[in-house]
Amino acid sequence: MFKVTGILATASAIALAGCTYNDGTANQPATGAIIGGVTGAAIGNAIGDDRRSTIIGGAIGAAVGGAIGADMARQERELNQQLAGSGAVITNTGDQLRVILPEGVTFPTGSATVASSFLPALREVARSLNAHPNTTVRVVGHTDTVGTAAFNQQLSQDRALAVARILVRDGVSSSRITYTGRGYNEPIASNATAAGRAQNRRVEIVITPTR
Give dist(CA 120, CA 3) in Å, integer.
51
The yes-or-no verdict on residue 70 having pLDDT over 70 is yes
pTM: 0.71
Positive/negative CA dihedral, 165, 167, 171, 176: negative
- Model confidence at 4, pLDDT cuts 50, 70, 90, reads very low
What pLDDT does 66 receive?
A: 66
Mean pLDDT of 157-173: 98
Mean pLDDT of 189-195: 98
